[in-house]
Structures are given as C-alpha cells and as structure tokens.
C-alpha cells in the first residue's frame, strides 16, 4: 500500500506560520491520482496526502496579522497535505472562512464549489433563464453546479450514467435544484425535444467524462456555445463532429482550478470575492456539502477503498 499512518513531531512555529488543528478532510479523485503519480502535480515523497479540508487555528507566529486562534482556515492552494491531525503552515497557504458554516461545507469548499463557480462565470455570461448542460452531474462539482446555477436562476440539464439506483439519484439531484436529469442514452433520444420546449438550448456545456458522452452532449449546445472540459473520467478523447465547428461555431475550452489559482496568486480580490460568494450561498442554505460519509482517520484504508469504487455517490471525509 502507498499509505501509512505515522506520528510526527509538529515543527516549531515560525514568525509567519500558523499552527492548525485539522478538523475534516475529504478524499477526492485528484488526491488519489496525485499519489499514483498520474496527475500534473507531483509531490516530493514522503508526502502527506489531501488537497482539501478545514482546520482551526491554534496559535499564530508574531508576524501573522490576518489570522488568530479559533479562526477556521482552508488551503489557499493544492498540495497542502490535509490528511493529518495538525500542521504548521505559512500564513499565505491558508484562507480564512467563516466559523458559522457547517464543517463538511468548509471541508469541501476549496476544490469543487470553486471549480463550479468559475466554470459558470468565466466562459459564458449566463442570465436568469439561460441553461447549462453537464455530465457526471452527481459528482461533487456537478452537485455544486446545480445549486449555484439554481441560486442565479440558470437552468441545468444534468447527465448521469444509468445505474441500479437511478430513481433515487434523480430524486436527490432534483431536490438540490436540478431542472432535468437524463441518462447518457437519453441524449440521443427524440424525448430531448420535450426538454427544449420549456428550457432553452444550453449556451454552456461542462464536461468531465470525454468519449461518447461528450459528443452527445455537444449536439444540444447552442450555436456559438462553449464546452468546457475539466476532467476525463472515461479516459477517452473529446470527439467533435466537424459540422459542430463549421455550422455551429462551438468553442472548446479547458479548465483546471489549480491553474486558475496560480494565475490569480497576486489577485487576492478575485480569490476573496469567490470565497465570499460561496460562503454567502452556504449561509443562505443555497449551497450544501455533497453527500458525505464521515470516517475516523484510523479507518483511512477503508475510506480510500470506498472512494475508488464505481458509482459512489458519497464523498469520503476523514474526521481528524
């Protein structure tokens, strides 16, 4: 196994450091990929896994002004190594979040909801009544897209893989505010016309699957619409019919949250604005944590195994 639970000394607190007691940290697919070495970031080994989570500040160095003991913090960037009970981090690696939001919302805030918000705002200017189509709609990003879109009056057409518990999944996504939930097979069916009687054709498509799913989704995109690819779960290329380019002038773009953070490292206003928007949605009850299974740290092996099973609709969260 690549993983071991180890006891380490907590390093000395430097002037610009913050001593954090971790509260909760999720296991995301990218965390596993990073450890397997199949991700675009490689950590020097031995490394602590985990890119996301929430902690409470225990003490701060003499030069730290923005944080104080008792504050809640989340990683400002990937690679922090959140699967630990305590850590000492430079102040600039942490972002303060309100302490009155649910712990699971804070623990799952820095990756999926940020990705969802950026993709909904950075590629097309969507107005209330517009629509967006997405595949893997039951993923963490998918669930956040549904809720953020709903809060701004944008309709969602949500594509999921067919599965044994499909009715329960449809019900769960509708409860989050999905307007339509369809299977990949339905994308090819004439019934799709019924959806477009009440909902306009989407100007934006969000793809994290690739392969046939993407090509089918693209057929429903409006002329001059944009498809943003942020993942490739099918491990197949994105295939686009030539006609979609020539006759509909569709745009194909890519998005990676880690790159956005790099590009905006000096732009604290954008980052603060994004976190503020998301935290307000959470405080208003318009954005919830994805379905979670809470696992104590010592059961990490079971949690890692569970996170790699197909059709998992619940995110494993390590309680630290």
- Enumerate the domain spans of the chain: 17-108+289-319, 112-258
The dihedral sign for the CA sequence 24, 28, 30, 36:
positive
Q: Taking the CA atoms of the chain, what radius of gyration do you get in angstroms? A: 20
The dihedral sign for the CA sequence 202, 204, 209, 210:
positive
Q: CATH number of the domain at 112-258, please? A: 3.40.50.720
d(CA 82, CA 84): 6
Cis-peptide into 255, omega within 30 deg: no
57 vs 7, more confident? 57
- Whether the CB-CB separation of 319 and 296 falls below 8 Å is answered with yes
For the whole model, what pTM was predicted? Answer: 0.90
CATH architecture observed for domain 17-108+289-319: Alpha-Beta Complex (3.90)
Q: What would the two tokens of residue 140 be? A: 């963490």
| pLDDT tens-digit series, residues 174-206 | 999 999 999 999 999 998 999 999 999 999 999
d(CA 88, CA 298): 21
Residue 232 is predicted with a pLDDT of: 84
Q: Is the pLDDT of residue 222 over 70?
A: yes
- Whether the CB-CB separation of 271 and 257 falls below 8 Å is answered with no
- What residues act catalytically? 39
Q: Is the pLDDT of residue 308 over 90?
A: no
Close Cβ partners of 225 (under 8 Å, ≥ 6 residues apart): 124, 201, 202, 203, 204, 205, 248, 250, 251
d(CA 166, CA 30): 25
Average pLDDT (87-101) is 94
């Amino acid at each position: 196994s690549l993983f071991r639970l180890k006891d380490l000394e907590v390093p000395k607190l430097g002037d610009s450091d913050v001593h954090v007691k971790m509260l909760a940290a999720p296991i995301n697919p990218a965390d596993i990929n990073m450890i397997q070495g199949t991700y675009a970031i490689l950590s020097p080994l031995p490394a602590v896994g985990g890119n996301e989570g929430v902690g409470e500040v225990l003490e701060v160095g003499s030069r730290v002004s923005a944080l104080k003991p008792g504050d809640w913090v989340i990683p400002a960037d990937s690679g922090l190594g959140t699967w630990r009970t305590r850590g000492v981090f430079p102040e600039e690696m942490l972002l303060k979040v309100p302490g009155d939001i649910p712990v699971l919302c804070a623990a799952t805030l820095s990756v999926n909801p940020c990705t969802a918000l950026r993709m909904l705002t950075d590629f097309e200017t969507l107005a209330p009544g517009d629509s967006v189509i997405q595949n893997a709609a039951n993923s963490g990003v998918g669930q956040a897209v549904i809720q953020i879109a709903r809060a701004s009056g944008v309709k969602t057409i949500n594509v999921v893989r067919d599965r044994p518990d499909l009715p329960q999944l449809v019900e769960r996504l509708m409860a989050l505010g999905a307007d339509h939930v369809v299977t990949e097979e339905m994308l090819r069916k004439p019934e799709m016309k019924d959806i477009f009687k009440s909902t306009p054709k989407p100007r934006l498509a969000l793809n994290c699957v690739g392969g046939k799913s993407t090509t089918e989704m693209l057929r429903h995109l409006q002329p001059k619409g944009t498809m943003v690819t942020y993942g490739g779960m099918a491990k197949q290329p994105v295939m686009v019919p030539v006609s979609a380019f020539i006759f509909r002038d569709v745009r194909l773009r890519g998005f990676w949250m880690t790159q956005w953070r790099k590009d905006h490292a000096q732009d604290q206003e954008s980052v603060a604005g994004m976190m503020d928007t998301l935290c307000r949605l959470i405080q208003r009850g318009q954005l919830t944590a994805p379905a979670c299974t809470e696992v104590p740290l010592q059961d990490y092996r079971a949690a890692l195994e569970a996170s790699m099973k197909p059709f998992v609709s619940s995110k494993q969260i390590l309680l630290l």
